[in-house]
Chain A
């Protein structure tokens, strides 16, 4: 090949592609624009505002006039030193972990149960979805009536079998348990649906093979079902974690995080700070909200990391 020909050739080749390139880049941006705009408007800007809120020292006056002085990490320091921080963090972890573990176990048990496709199983499965379909305000109010110390049906049953009244919503020992129970009930359908569809994807031949090899019910669950469900399990637990971490309405409706701070989580505390009293503390409220985002993000990254390792 003559050496002079090469540049000419590339030149010839490049020339028509340039406008082409520009045009296709434009096209690409045109397609991206709605999404980028949407992300910027509804994700980036609110997030930026929340970070900004948490870094300024807001009073009602400076909030209205938008001239709050920059305060650095002062709001975060205030939050960490607050007497509510310890209990709120502890409650958030207990609430989240107990909820997702119980939801997962019960959801998996029900999914395995319904996977056997007996008569009426579809109807029953549909009925199990009810907690998911009800508006949260309805289910949370119903739970708080059921758990009422005086007139609640749960205490009525306890007394009927000779037990003692339990102050579910009004004693510091029980209030967190009460909201965890209600939240487990609400989360079961989600786990059931996802795990059930995961089970449907496990080929029946594997069970046949396991049965031929002499595996019993428990062994085929432990050695076939459970390992093959692992990816579905991982995503169910992660989504469950993120959802549960930020549960607010259920707790607020049932106990308002009380009595005292015995069922306060970071989510309810953030709301309490920002909107719960007549004198809003926007700065610390935003700081607590950001902490929640960081925790959720950390677990999200952990999930991506482990998934990558599994794939590699």
Chain B
């Protein structure tokens, strides 16, 4: 009687152990503490899941590891995912050695205390355009080095403009742009597409108009801000812009432009390669400000950052890897791969020499502003969320532009405590 029972007890225990062992093994492998992993392996996070190991970018990362005599374990992931994972990794003390971070997230991660200052990590920031570096600078300390910059401009479809007899060079302010949209509409084509989605992309796309009107992020319900949102709202009401902009991401907005029906699209440097493939002639002009001239556009693009390590001895090799990625010679290739504008004037010259069409983008980047610059830092994400909410409310007709922005300003003020 007792023998089978004991046997059963033993079996139960064995079963429990065998069931749980693989679990433990799994979790061991998955959490693989990055900083305490083998000294010869350096972990590397970037937000470019579109590039696999065999892509030029993937190969460059591997090569830079080899040059520093270490193996690089590269983990690409979605950009918002990356910021969240970085916070979690910071909490569990297994941050990667190198991390490419979207520039508006740099100040948040720096505030969280998980990024090393560029100076402490041995990264040089000389020669980098100030406005680009500012996008990742907190209290005069840059937290990383920009790998490249991108920004927004207006793509236009040459055929559609020709049909409507619109000269793109004459589009220099809001009035001439709206007039051009009316003519395009009258000629039977569609006006302009952009992205006003419920995320950072929506704010990113609204900023050129917002800043172009003279508004500031500290005061998002100013008359200038209201005029910018009213411009968008009027375009929707007149049918110059499709209603789908409210849910468009920048990618779906581009897809609308790629149908060939639209005269203009507000989109980024990174679409250049797709523009070549669109099958129609295109051009690029700066986004106009309200009165005249180009509007300030937001700086896009990632920073190469060095997360804080408990083992400071690792920084030396990390610095080698980062410098390999951003040294003058490699930077040109890297930014060509990413379809970005280089952050240094010298490499920009080379880029324009290779492709004259990039001049418009180099100018746009030179005029670009960091979203977290001007002391915004970690207030920016809060203000931005309120701003895209207001844009959504106004464009969908739930509130007037003025009421929407007033509510947004109030919410932003109570949440940032300013």
Contacts and interface: CB of A to CB of B under 8 A. Distances in A.
A20 B3 CA distance: 11
A83 interface: yes
Number of chain A interface residues as a range = 35 or more
A170 B244 contact: yes
Interface string A168-201: 0111100000000000000000000000000000
A276 B389 CA distance: 12
B6 interface: yes
Interface string B59-92: 0000000000000000000001001100100110
Number of chain B interface residues as a range = 35 or more
B111 A259 contact: no
B393 A260 contact: yes
A5 B298 CA distance: 96
A259 B246 contact: yes
Contacts of B49: none
A170 B381 contact: no
A94 to B, nearest CB: 17
A149 interface: yes
Contacts of B380: 278
B80 A60 contact: no
Interface stretch (B193-201, B211-219, B313-321): B193-201
B8 interface: yes
Contacts of A151: 244, 256, 259
B158 interface: no
A37 interface: yes
A181 to B, nearest CB: 16
Given A34-B15, A260-B392, A280-B87, A150 B244 contact: yes
Contact of B113 (A65, A148, A165, A260): A65
Interface in A257-273: 257-262
Residue of B16, B83, B111 with most chain A CB atoms under a 10 A cut-off: B16
A260 B393 CA distance: 5
A65 B112 CA distance: 8
Nearest to A175: B396
B409 to A, nearest CB: 14
B198 A278 contact: no
A230 interface: no
A20 B2 contact: yes
Residue of B80, B112, B380 with most chain A CB atoms under a 10 A cut-off: B112
A11 to B, nearest CB: 20
B329 interface: no
Contact of B9 (A23, A61, A169): A23
A290 to B, nearest CB: 20
Interface in A1-31: 20, 23-24, 26-27, 30-31
Interface string B1-40: 0100110110011011001100000000000000000000
A27 B4 CA distance: 11
Contacts of A167: 243, 246, 396
Contacts of A148: 244
A156 interface: no
B244 A66 contact: no
A31 B395 CA distance: 60
A64 B112 contact: yes
A63 interface: yes
Nearest to A31: B12
A30 B13 contact: yes
A172 B392 CA distance: 10
Interface in B154-210: 197-200
Contacts of B407: 83
B247 interface: yes
Contacts of B12: 27, 30-31, 33
A54 interface: no
A256 B389 contact: no
Residue of A27, A63, A280 with most chain B CB atoms under a 10 A cut-off: A27
Contact of B91 (A24, A63, A144, A150): A63
Contacts of A150: 242-244, 256
A280 B341 CA distance: 30
B200 A278 contact: yes
Interface in A80-125: 83
A170 B246 contact: yes
A167 B385 CA distance: 23
Nearest to A174: B396
Contact of A256 (B13, B197, B398): B197
Contact of B398 (A20, A260, A280): A260
Contact of B397 (A59, A172, A279): A172
Interface in A190-231: none
A280 B84 contact: yes
Given A170-B244, A172-B398, A259-B393, A83 B411 contact: yes
Nearest to A41: B23
B114 interface: yes
A61 B246 contact: no
Contacts of B411: 83
A278 B15 contact: no
Nearest to A252: B198
B368 to A, nearest CB: 18
A59 B392 CA distance: 27
B401 interface: no
A310 interface: no
Interface in A231-286: 255-262, 275-280
B398 A259 contact: yes
Contacts of A33: 12-13, 16
Given A64-B87, A258-B392, A276-B385, 20 more contacts: A23-B6, A27-B8, A30-B16, A34-B16, A37-B16, A37-B20, A59-B111, A61-B111, A65-B91, A66-B91, A150-B242, A151-B259, A167-B396, A170-B246, A256-B198, A256-B199, A258-B197, A259-B393, A259-B396, A278-B83
30 contacts: A24-B5, A30-B9, A37-B20, A60-B378, A61-B113, A64-B114, A66-B91, A83-B407, A83-B411, A144-B247, A148-B244, A165-B243, A167-B246, A170-B243, A170-B245, A171-B243, A172-B397, A256-B197, A256-B247, A258-B246, A258-B247, A259-B198, A259-B396, A260-B392, A276-B385, A277-B200, A278-B380, A278-B384, A279-B108, A280-B84
Interface of B: 2, 5-6, 8-9, 12-13, 15-16, 19-20, 80, 83-84, 87, 90-91, 104-105, 108-109, 111-114, 197-200, 242-247, 256, 259, 378, 380-382, 384-385, 389, 392-393, 395-399, 407, 411
Top 8 nearest A-B pairs (CB, nearest first) are: A30-B12, A259-B396, A279-B381, A170-B246, A60-B112, A64-B90, A278-B381, A27-B9
